């Protein structure tokens, strides 16, 4: 294979959505697998809808996912500029070349004229198709119209035969040429159409494989027609299947989070999202699901991309995320979780004021205790609050059950006494003493442990109680038991 060059070409008119992220990932994996180059090109000719903020979130999302590019904005390259808005001169001169070669022409038809033509064809039972009437203007007529009328540039499209897109995923897809009229390549505002700019850039940037969403398949024959007229060689094409919602409709906002940014805010790990995106329409076979980036690079191939739509499944993403949360290096998880702790202001002032290393060591311990029970970074934080602060509310059902019976106050007093005396204040000795207490009072161990858990965490469930107690330390545990006792007295 010649040196692979692929590109991702987002328009900065919105956030990076899972569809775009998946397209980038497939391009990226393909480039890495074949030792090729990944190019980022920004399709920003639509000035009205493009914005620097969207561009920034696209960069941030790609960086967060770990999908880097070898050429493009911020890194440069020999084939720049990489913003279409800075390449207008190139599109203009290629359009002029086509005109000179008689492969494109100026069209002065007004929208009303085009509408009338369309209507006439409709009455004759014909599909809408531009008649090509401006193709036949004499040089004088053209000159005259140029002086006062706005115009577009149309390309001469073949009227007969077929255009075949030899798709790497779908095989040959045949389009009858009578589907295409002489379509517009330069608009009346002097800007290129998407198809025209895209073909020129793909050729000038020496793109070998165009890997993009299936929604572009219908553009591809037009792009091949343009490429032929321009005398370019045609890259290989691969159209990856659509991503549909679970109800098999087009995925949209109403189905929940769809942008990379939103997943990040939910507490999804980039490793999990990458793994999930890879499986949207691609499968390595053998039922393998959990795969690292290196494994993905190793086994990725366009032949294994499915022709059928991929069904988006949030539950699976969350499941994968839970897996990564349980198995990844604690250090990495803590770094990822920190912004969530900070956002919800969970860390006590004391912990927040520690040196970074000490602070992270403490958070690591907490994350290690709670991570088996949660699936997102947001849930890590929600499950951790009582490790850092004592202003939590008590679970009302728990209060009813463990603080409201007649022996509750007495048991809490006994527990307090035991825990204030136990030496050393460590899991093993605490366990022994609490077991001894349950025997002495002739109550079950649950009647001891459950009120303690409720008093020190506000909850009826959670990680190992002894771990929690040893983490908090004697003073904190006694203070919390006292607070619980006060609750009992007040009520
Ligand atoms: N800017 C186009 C888009 O965002 C690029 C399509 C293509 O890859 O050619 O859909």
Residue 276 pLDDT > 70: yes
Tens digit of each residue's pLDDT (9 = 90 or more) over 346-357: 888 888 888 999
Report CA 10 to chain centroid distance, whole Å: 13
Q: What is the band of 491 on the pLDDT scale with cuts at 50, 70, 90?
A: low
| Separation of CA 283 from chain center | 19
- Whether residue 490 is predicted with pLDDT greater than 80 in this model: the reply is no
Reported pTM: 0.93
Among residues 152, 160, 105, 109, the alpha carbon closest in space to that of 130 is found at: 109
Distance 367 CA to ligand 1 centre (A): 41
What does DSSP say about strands 37-40 and 5-8: parallel, antiparallel, or unpaired?
parallel
For range 147-158, the mean pLDDT: 96
User: Which atom of ligand 1 lies nearest, measured to the CA of 23?
Assistant: 8
Q: 286, exposed or middle or buried, with CB in 10 Å at 0-12, 13-18, 19+? A: exposed
Bridge partners of residue 244, in order along the sequence: 250, 311
CATH 1.10.8 residue ranges for the chain = 328-384
Confidence category of residue 266, pLDDT binned at 50, 70, 90: very high
Residue 307 a catalytic site member: no
Per-residue pLDDT tens digits for 203-218:
999 999 999 999 999 9
* pLDDT over 80 at 121, yes or no: yes
CB 418 within 8 A of CB 397: no
Half-sphere exposure of 32 (CA within 13 A, CB side): 18
For the chain, the average pLDDT equals: 95
Please tell me the CATH code under which domain 396-490 is placed.
1.10.10.350
Among 47, 103, 143, 253, which one carries the catalytic annotation? 253
Residue list, ligand 1 pocket, CB within 6 Å: 9-11, 43, 198, 212, 216
CATH 3.40.50.620 domain residues, the chain: 5-84+244-311, 87-240
Question: Which fold does the domain 5-84+244-311 belong to in CATH?
Answer: Rossmann fold (3.40.50)
Sign of the CA dihedral 34, 39, 40, 41? negative
b (16+ CB within 10 A) / e for 27-38: bbbbbbbbebbb
pLDDT of 126 over the 90 cut: no
Which residues lie closer than 8 Å to 166 by C-beta, 6 or more apart?
172, 236, 237
Ligand 1 atom with the smallest distance to the CA of 219 is 9
Task: Give pLDDT tens digits for 438-450.
Answer: 999 999 999 999 9
Q: What is the CATH number of domain 87-240?
A: 3.40.50.620
**Atom 5 of ligand 1, nearest CA residue:** 9
- 328-384 to CATH, choices 2.60.40, 3.30.70, 1.10.8, 1.20.120: 1.10.8
Q: How far is it, in rounded angstroms, from Cα 347 to Cα 388?
A: 5
Give 57-109 pLDDT, tens digit per residue: 999 999 999 999 999 999 999 999 999 999 999 999 999 999 999 999 999 99
């Amino acid at each position: 294979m010649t040196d692979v060059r692929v590109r991702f070409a987002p328009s900065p008119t919105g956030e990076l959505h899972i569809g775009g992220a998946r397209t980038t990932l497939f391009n990226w994996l393909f480039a890495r697998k074949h030792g090729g180059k990944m190019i980022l090109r920004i399709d920003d000719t639509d000035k009205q809808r493009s914005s620097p903020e969207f561009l920034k979130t696209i960069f941030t999302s790609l960086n967060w996912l770990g999908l880097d590019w070898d050429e493009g904005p911020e890194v440069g390259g020999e084939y720049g500029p990489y913003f279409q808005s800075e390449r207008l001169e190139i599109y203009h001169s290629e359009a002029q070349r086509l005109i000179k070669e008689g492969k494109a022409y100026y069209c002065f038809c007004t929208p009303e004229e085009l509408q009338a033509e369309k209507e006439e064809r409709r009455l004759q039972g014909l599909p809408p198709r531009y008649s090509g009437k401006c193709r036949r203007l004499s040089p004088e007529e053209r000159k005259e119209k140029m002086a006062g009328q706005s115009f577009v540039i149309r390309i001469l499209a073949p009227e007969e035969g077929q255009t075949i897109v030899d798709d790497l995923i779908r095989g040959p897809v045949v389009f009858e040429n009578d589907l295409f009229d002489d379509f517009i390549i330069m608009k009346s505002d002097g800007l290129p159409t998407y198809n025209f700019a895209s073909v020129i850039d793909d050729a000038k940037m020496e793109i070998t494989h165009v890997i993009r969403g299936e929604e572009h398949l219908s553009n591809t024959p037009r792009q091949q027609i343009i490429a032929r007229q321009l005398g370019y060689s045609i890259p290989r094409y691969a159209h990856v299947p659509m991503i549909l919602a679970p109800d098999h409709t087009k995925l949209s906002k109403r189905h929940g989070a769809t942008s990379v940014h939103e997943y990040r805010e939910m507490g999804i790990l980039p490793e999990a999202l990458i793994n999930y995106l890879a499986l949207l329409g691609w499968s390595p076979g053998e039922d393998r699901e959990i795969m690292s980036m290196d494994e993905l690079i190793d086994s990725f191939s366009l032949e294994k991309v499915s022709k059928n739509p991929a069904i988006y499944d949030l539950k699976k993403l969350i499941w994968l995320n839970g897996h990564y949360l349980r198995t990844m290096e604690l250090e990495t998880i803590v770094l990822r979780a920190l912004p969530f702790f900070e956002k919800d202001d969970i860390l006590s002032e004391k912990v927040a004021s520690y040196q970074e290393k000490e602070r992270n060591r403490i958070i690591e311990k907490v994350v290690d205790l709670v991570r088996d029970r949660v699936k997102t970074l947001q849930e890590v934080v929600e499950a951790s609050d009582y490790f850092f602060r004592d202003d939590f509310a008590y679970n009302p059902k728990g209060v009813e059950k463990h603080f409201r019976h007649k022996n509750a106050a007495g048991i809490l007093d006994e527990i307090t006494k035991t825990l204030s005396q136990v030496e050393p204040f460590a899991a093993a000795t605490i366990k022994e003493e609490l077991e001894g207490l349950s025997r002495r009072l002739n109550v079950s161990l649950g009647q001891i442990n459950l009120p303690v858990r409720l008093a020190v965490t506000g909850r009826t469930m959670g990680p190992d109680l002894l771990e929690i107690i040893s983490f908090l330390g004697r003073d904190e545990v006694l203070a919390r038991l006292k607070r619980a006792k006060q609750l009992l007295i007040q009520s």
